[in-house]
Every structure is written in C-alpha cells, then in structure tokens.
Chain A
Amino acid sequence: GAGVSQSPRYKVAKRGQDVALRCDPISGHVSLFWYQQALGQGPEFLTYFQNEAQLDKSGLPSDRFFAERPEGSVSTLKIQRTQQEDSAVYLCASSARTPEGGNTIYFGEGSWLTVV
C-alpha cells in the first residue's frame, strides 16, 4: 500500500481480554516500530524489528505485551489480560534508510485502544 496501514482503527476491550493489533508497513521497508502514545504525550518506544528479527523490545511495559513479525512484513502487537492503563493509541511505523544514510520514518494512523 501507499502508507502504513493499521487495524483495527478503534478497539474497546473489557479488562482481562486479549487484543491483537495489526500493522502492514510500507512495502519494502525493512524496519518496523511499535509506539504507545497516551493522550497529550509524545509516542513512547515499545519495540523494533529489522525484517523478522526483533532487535529491541526494551520498551514493552510488561510480559503481557508481545510483538511478532514472522515473515518480515506484517506485524502484530498482542496484549494479554488488558488493564485500564493499557488504554492508549498504538502507533506502528516503518522506515527505509537512503543510500546517503538519510532516514524517514513513516507512521500509521494508529490503533486506539480503550480498556473498560
């Protein structure tokens, strides 16, 4: 597709329910990121993939959060046993470095998760 695509766009989950958020990056982009953004705050890093390899998961807040990118394209962020503090926008981004070493990171529109 032309941009980073995320689904669902909006999700309301009951506390304790598991959720799965999908990200379809820009075709050919090697790098994929997940960020969490609370209202009025900047995005907070969760995890980073280079192709199918998860190179950095230091931002995942607990072991209830799990991300995968098994074939190096589509990625899924899974949250188990959701809690109210998980309510946020989950942003996916992808990037492709230029030969000159420049970089542009493009974001999807996000998945808005509300835990009730």
Chain B
Amino acid sequence: GQNIDQPTEMTATEGAIVQINCTYQTSGFNGLFWYQQHAGEAPTFLSYNVLDGLEEKGRFSSFLSRSKGYSYLLLKELQMKDSASYLCAVDVANFGNEKLTFGTGTRLTIIP
C-alpha cells in the first residue's frame, strides 16, 4: 500500500518561517510534488523534486531525501495569503504511467 504522512494543522506568524514535513512509504517513486490549495479552489502546483536536495523558488523551497522517504516544504516571509492547505503527493506509477498519491494535507493558518 501507499502511505504519505503530514501534520494535519500548523499555525505560524506573519513574516516568520514555517517548515511542513512529509514522510512517505510507497511502492514506487517517480518524484514528489507540493501543492497549495485554498478553500474551494483547485490545488496549485508549487514544486517537484525527483533528486535529493533542495529546490528553491522564491519564498518557497522544497527538500527531498529519497533514502529517508522524507520531504519538507519551507515557506519564508510568511504572508496572510499563505493560509491554505499544503498537499504532499508522490508519483508512484511504474512503466511510464503517472499516478499521484496524496497525503491528507496540512492546513496552515497564518496569524498577524
């Protein structure tokens, strides 16, 4: 089976830094995605990691360690609009197919 774990809820202060962790145990691995989802809206792509290491993109960075089955999303200089759910997803398909398995999401609340 597939197992993707991330905290259910987190709270952080405007202007601060927050790290959202994700651990996974999956039968296959073709890369790990982070998505942002505001209530009532579609998930929006944030990052994709397939090799170990840190990918930086503006205020958002994502890290992957395949040997540890671990990733994190780092958000810097938090803004109120960053209040959303953050979804960790692993592409678990084989043989050239694609299949994203999602965690339940981390609901992040930014407070002034």
| Interface positions of A (Cβ within 8 A of B) | 4, 31, 33, 35, 40-45, 48, 50, 55-56, 91, 93, 95, 101-110
Binary A-proximity of B80-112 (CB < 8 A = 1, otherwise 0): 000000010101010001111111110000000
Partner of A105, one of B100, B101, B105: B100
**B30, B41, B48, B100, most chain A CB atoms within 10 A:** B100
Chain A residue nearest in CB terms to B101: A45
- Please determine whether B42 and A42 come into contact, CB atoms closer than 8 angstroms: no
Please give the distance in Å from A113's CB to the nearest CB on chain B: 14
Assuming the contacts A42-B89, A50-B97, A56-B93, asked whether A105 and B102 have C-beta atoms less than 8 A apart, the reply is no
- Please determine whether B45 and A106 come into contact, CB atoms closer than 8 angstroms: yes
B7 within 8 A of A: no
- Please determine whether A91 and B50 come into contact, CB atoms closer than 8 angstroms: no
| Interface positions of B (Cβ within 8 A of A) | 4, 30-31, 33, 35, 41-45, 48, 50, 87, 89, 91, 93, 97-105
Q: Kindly list 8 other residue pairs between chains A and B, CB separation below 8 angstroms, not including A42-B105, A55-B97.
A: A41-B104, A48-B98, A102-B50, A105-B98, A106-B45, A107-B42, A107-B45, A110-B42
- Please determine whether B100 and A33 come into contact, CB atoms closer than 8 angstroms: yes
Please give the distance in Å from A29's CB to the nearest CB on chain B: 11
- Please determine whether B50 and A56 come into contact, CB atoms closer than 8 angstroms: no
Assuming the contacts A107-B43, A108-B42, asked whether A42 and B98 have C-beta atoms less than 8 A apart, the reply is no
Question: How far is A45 from B87 in the complex, measured between Cα atoms in Å?
Answer: 14
Please give the distance in Å from A47's CB to the nearest CB on chain B: 10
Please give the distance in Å from B47's CB to the nearest CB on chain A: 10
Question: How far is A29 from B1 in the complex, measured between Cα atoms in Å?
Answer: 29
- Please determine whether A91 and B48 come into contact, CB atoms closer than 8 angstroms: no
Question: How far is A97 from B48 in the complex, measured between Cα atoms in Å?
Answer: 12
Chain B residue nearest in CB terms to A91: B42
Question: How far is A105 from B45 in the complex, measured between Cα atoms in Å?
Answer: 7
- Please determine whether B87 and A43 come into contact, CB atoms closer than 8 angstroms: yes
Chain A residue nearest in CB terms to B102: A42
